[in-house]
Amino acid sequence: MANSPSSKKRARQTERRTAVNRARRSRIRTFIRKVEEAIASGDFAVAAEALKVAQPEIMRGVTKGVAHQNTASRKISRLSGRVKALQA
């Protein structure tokens, strides 16, 4: 338990940041899920559009410190590969 005023303040700040980060991570997962659902339906146009919308959202998570650069790049790469496979 935080005792000093500065540690109490840090605990409050951590709570707020945790809530923001959790919401942002959830938002990213939602965008990824929409792409995966479009891939599962087999519709290339919808999947490509969903990926186009999800890509900046995933990378925004990197700039905000929610996800690691390599993790985001890997997710985008794998999703785009699956979307591209629909086209063939």
**How much is the pLDDT for 53?**
97
What is the chain's Cα-based Rg? 17
Task: Give the side-chain half-sphere CA count within 13 A for 76.
Answer: 19
Q: Are 45 and 54 in contact (CB under 8 A)?
A: no
Separation CA 43–CA 58 (nearest Å) = 22
From first to last of its 88 residues, what are the pLDDT tens digits of the chain?
789 999 999 999 999 999 999 999 999 999 999 999 999 999 999 999 999 999 999 999 999 999 999 999 999 999 999 999 998 7
Q: Please, what is the Cα angle at 70 between 88 and 74, to 5 degrees?
A: 15
Spelled out in words, what is the top-level CATH class assigned to the domain 5-87? mainly alpha
Separation CA 67–CA 28 (nearest Å) = 10
